[in-house]
Amino acid sequence: MNNTLKSEAVRDAVKTIQLIGIGPGDDQYLTLQAIHAMQQAAVFFLLEKAGRGKEALVNRRREMLARFAGERDYRIVVVPSPPRTMTASGYQEGVREWHQQKRTLFANLIDNQLHPGEHGAFLIWGDPSLYDQTVSLIAEQVATAPETLKLEMIPGITSVQALTAKHCIPLNRVGENIAIVPGRYAETCDLDAIDNAVVMLDYNASFQRFQGQDFDLYWAGDLGGADETLLAGPLDDICATVLETKAALRARKGWLMDIYLLRKRRGKVES
């Protein structure tokens, strides 16, 4: 076999898995690279979370594909996303089981729904590297069969960037660090452990704990979506309003994604 035929045969045997960062909701956050990748995929895997109103998140991705994936035949496979398991043996064990279920799901999709020579894409909210385990779990699988599986990751605009852009603020202040933490950390950490932090995945409005400590809060719910809401100000002044807004949005939509930056006030700072 000559070299050209050999490389064509290799290419035809390879399944390419694309993790496409699609930004936090609004089509306008899609990058040209993400659109280009969408136009290459033969199949799109959409993971659907259970819960009232969550089908809206699948519909948003379907609409993106209708607008940007090109007028051609492609397949869409919608599968239930395994919910995080709550086990009697604790959080870590629950996460371990949850990841195992996801591993199995991804392996089945790649084995049964993606054909050799095709590109198959997962559309990932924001950026695939930020609080999303898909890349780690699929990279493990690719490592087991490097001759037949290839992984590509396309960066996306994160909800962190959308938060700071919408509030027109810098992410960090000069010479200071910035932490990105999950709600679970903000809920239990020492109050002094945080003075500049973006908090994500916060199910219990942990910002409440930081009242009376001279913090500003920059909050956003449903960034890039139809219900996008922004609130900012001294935490002690706006805490109640943020709680009411979250409750009202969640009651109406059935779910809510929110993110916020907590920043300790220091008087006037150079920018």
Which residues 6+ apart lie within 8 Å of 166 measured at CB?
Answer: 220, 223, 228, 230
Q: Where are the beta strands (DSSP E) in 130-207?
A: 149-154, 179-182, 196-200
* 61 forms part of the interface with ligand SAM (CB under 6 A): no
Q: CB of 12: closest distance to ligand SAM in angstroms?
A: 33
The size of the chain, in residues, is 271
Interface residue with ligand SAM among 201, 216, 229, 233 (CB under 6 A) is 201
Interface residue with ligand SAM among 76, 131, 209, 229 (CB under 6 A) is 131
Which residues 6+ apart lie within 8 Å of 168 measured at CB?
Answer: none
The whole-angstrom separation of Cα 167 and Cα 164 is 5
Burial of residue 150, with CB atoms counted within 10 A of its CB: 0-12 exposed, 13-18 middle, 19 or more buried: middle
Residue with tokens 């199995």: 104
* 220 forms part of the interface with ligand SAM (CB under 6 A): yes
Question: Given the rule CB under 6 A, which of 1-9, 172-180, 223-231, 233-241 is the region that contacts ligand SAM?
Answer: 223-231
CA distances from 240 to 8, 197, 214, 237, 256 (A): 62, 20, 16, 8, 17
* 186 forms part of the interface with ligand SAM (CB under 6 A): no
* 231 forms part of the interface with ligand SAM (CB under 6 A): no
Site for ligand SAM in 71-130 (CB under 6 A): 125-127, 130
35/256 with CB nearer ligand SAM? 256
Interface residue with ligand SAM among 185, 231, 258, 262 (CB under 6 A) is 258
Q: Which of 16, 18, 26 is nearest to 155 (CA)?
A: 18
Site string for ligand SAM, 136-175 (x = CB under 6 A): ----------------------xx----------------
Q: CB of 71: closest distance to ligand SAM in angstroms?
A: 28
Applying CB under 6 A, the residues found at the interface with ligand SAM are: 24-25, 125-127, 130-132, 158-159, 200-201, 220, 222-225, 257-259
